[in-house]
Amino acid sequence: QYTSQSFVMQSGDRIYLSTDGIIDAANTDRKRLGTKHLMAILEKHQHRPLYEQKLQIERELDEYQSGSDQRDDITFVGFELP
């Protein structure tokens, strides 16, 4: 069942969409990155332009996984309202 949601946004607001692949990404101990860790990464880099955020998210995800195999696809999209 689906429901409709409405909210007001302003110029400069950012929206992020992702599959579960990024939060399910595991480290060598098979521990998931998780939603809280992803949110902490986004909050830490929120002051940066989106292209820099992309680089930081990729870097931190690579460090977290530290050579473990990726088990799922990862799609993560961010955009800023003009």
The pTM (predicted TM-score) of the whole model is 0.85
Instruction: Measure the CA dihedral 51/42/10/4, to 10°.
Output: 120
Give 20-59 pLDDT, tens digit per residue: 999 999 999 999 999 999 999 999 999 999 999 999 999 9
Distance CA 78, CA 15 (A): 6
On whether the CB atoms of residues 31 and 80 are closer than 8 A, the answer is no
pLDDT at 59: 96
Distance CA 82, CA 64 (A): 33
